[in-house]
Structure 1
């Protein structure tokens, strides 16, 4: 069946905003600006960046409220005519999103630390480790039985991750992701997927049955994540740990948000990167939710792979990294593994597929708030 113009628009919006999200965050990381200590340095504030990401998710909550009141007035208070992204139960305890938000907060912060150490393409590819951990956790905690194609997909994804990591280890050129700390960044990104997998399992077990609007669910996680991490920035300012990872903060703190704001206001490049992160995550969540409903979760997985290609090509074009056959091979192994795991090849020919669809939101990516429709036993 041919796609409508609106569906093509949604697919394009998802690919573009998803790509911008990672590239904008990395753009801020690589930009130099004067901090509160008067020194010009790169923007190394992963926790402050995570706060901005959650603020972007909070914008989804505002969008939900505006859309809800608009469509209710338009449809004469008939909730049955509401769009999928805002239709759902409105009588629920918002604190059911607290634990998923804390998981999202932890994973996003760790991944942003890793992104500071490696390339944006490696960052995007290594997030494929989510499939492995979610598959294993679904067996342990949800008592699911994976089919053979799930195991084959997980095996190939593991192989792809090893190859991508190997490409970073072998890269030796200055400025490429293969610098000495890139492996640490790669490991942090993959470890963060354990937390993301935990988030998805918790949402599947305790949240999905509440039938909350996906856009509202993303918004509530954004609210809890934004408030919690903003409060944590205060003690982080006073905890001095030193070390190379935190040497750009004036006193070697875990996070110096004041220094970060100085750098944002002193550089249009940093400000543009942060603004891009905020706006792109909001539109990406909306587009991702809509694609899942209008088309399918399988299509969403395919589009997410296109996003990875765009990020890598752009990174090569601007000279952030150098072309590597190892990374190209690793990406294709990852791509095939994810496609097999998500039953994409069968899903493209049939709408009645039984899959365990995994999406990254993150940038909590994002979560669509209705994982019972994305993760099916």
Structure 2
């Protein structure tokens, strides 16, 4: 069935805004400017300020939800389902997971390349699959287990590519690249915990997706904004790249933005893109399919990689090509993208109909869709 113009628009919007989200965050990291009190020019290294901006973008989804709801109620026959009433505090634990994972990923993005950052985020399916078996009682199909092992292999290849490039690239130190990659994978463990919490405690309620994203964004924005105050006084030594060597110096970030307003453009790009990315992702799942959303998310990695190479933000490494293809294969197997091909083979179709995918397909898609990776993607 051919896509409508609206479906094509949604797919393009998701791919574009998802790519801008990572690229704008990396663009901000590449700036350098003077800080407060005439501090010498230094790199813009403020991951927690960037994370606050990301949550502001998610929070805006809640505003959009109420605008759409208000507009719908004025119709003679309202069509929008606002969902049942719920306790907003249900979203607090997953929001804290989101906040922690996002902050870690922004720290990691400062240490490694944008393409590796996006590729390594694919490791979320490993931990999501394992945790869903352990805590949700889900049974994974054989193809999903194969997908997990293939993804692990892909991560090893991407890690080797970063290890090799770390010896040749002066942009990042080898130790920073390895640390950044490990932090990204650590963050995916937290993201998978967030997904399981949402599936077990939140999404059994009928909550509108925009309202869910916006509520988590609200908690993340408020809590992380308040945490910027103690972070201003916590000294972490050489681990921090800001002049005062504290965990986060928000005042220094604002001073740098004042000296170089282009940084603000990069931060706004990150904030606005995450809002549109969430809207587009939810709409793609509703209007087309969850599988299409997974495919577009994989294409986003390719776009980020190509743009980074075109802008000379990183160098081309053949191992990354292999790593990307292996990760793509692992994601495809885990998400069942091979099933339409196998369905054409009679004996495979018969086995699939016998229940190989019982208890895994629809629920798994729902689990992954509720997790964003990709919001936060993600980030």
Fold in common (TM above 0.5): yes
Residue 117 of structure 1: CA displacement? 0.1
Aligned to 1:8: 8
Residue 349 of structure 1: CA displacement? 9.1
Runs of 4+, deviation exceeding 4 Å: 347-350
SS for the counterpart of 1:181 is helix
CA-to-aligned-CA distance 1:172-192 (integer Å, 9 cap, x gap):
233445633101000000000
CA distance in 2, matches of 1:88, 1:344: 32
SS for the counterpart of 1:319 is coil
Q: Does 1:156 pair with 2:150?
A: yes
Residue 361 of structure 1: CA displacement? 2.6
Q: Does 1:276 pair with 2:269?
A: yes
Aligned to 2:17: 17
CA-to-aligned-CA distance 1:149-186 (integer Å, 9 cap, x gap):
00000000000001001000011233445633101000
Aligned to 1:361: 372
Residue 312 of structure 1: CA displacement? 0.2
CA contact (8 A) 2:124 2:373 kept: no
Q: Does 1:304 pair with 2:297?
A: yes
CA contact (8 A) 2:235 2:245 kept: yes
SS for the counterpart of 1:210 is coil
Aligned to 1:318: 311
CA-to-aligned-CA distance 1:104-147 (integer Å, 9 cap, x gap):
00000000000000000000000011000000001110111111
Structure 1 stretches lacking a partner, 5+ long: 368-377
Aligned to 1:222: 217
SS for the counterpart of 1:280 is helix
SS for the counterpart of 2:203 is helix
CA-to-aligned-CA distance 1:257-290 (integer Å, 9 cap, x gap):
1111111222132111100000000000000000
Aligned to 1:53: 54
SS for the counterpart of 1:74 is coil
CA distance in 1, matches of 2:128, 2:23: 26
Q: Structure 1-normalised TM-score?
A: 0.91
CA contact (8 A) 2:133 2:139 kept: yes
Which shifted more, 198-207 or 60-69? 60-69
CA contact (8 A) 1:218 1:366 kept: no
Which shifted more, 67-76 or 171-180? 171-180
CA distance in 1, matches of 2:127, 2:172: 25
Aligned to 2:161: 167
Aligned to 1:106: 100
Aligned to 2:325: 332
- Which of the numbers 235, 239, 246 marks the counterpart of 1:240? 235
SS for the counterpart of 1:255 is coil
Aligned to 1:257: 250
Q: Give the length in aligned residue pairs.
A: 357
SS for the counterpart of 1:365 is strand
Aligned to 1:29: 29
CA contact (8 A) 2:84 2:205 kept: no
- Taking a change above 3 Å as real, the CA distance of residues 52 and 24 of structure 1, as seen in their structure-2 partners, is same
Residue 209 of structure 1: CA displacement? 1.0
SS for the counterpart of 1:250 is coil
CA contact (8 A) 2:121 2:374 kept: no
CA distance in 2, matches of 1:73, 1:349: 48
CA contact (8 A) 1:33 1:270 kept: no
CA distance in 1, matches of 2:341, 2:255: 49
CA contact (8 A) 2:15 2:299 kept: yes
Structure 2 stretches lacking a partner, 5+ long: 344-352
Aligned to 1:91: 85
Residue 362 of structure 1: CA displacement? 4.5
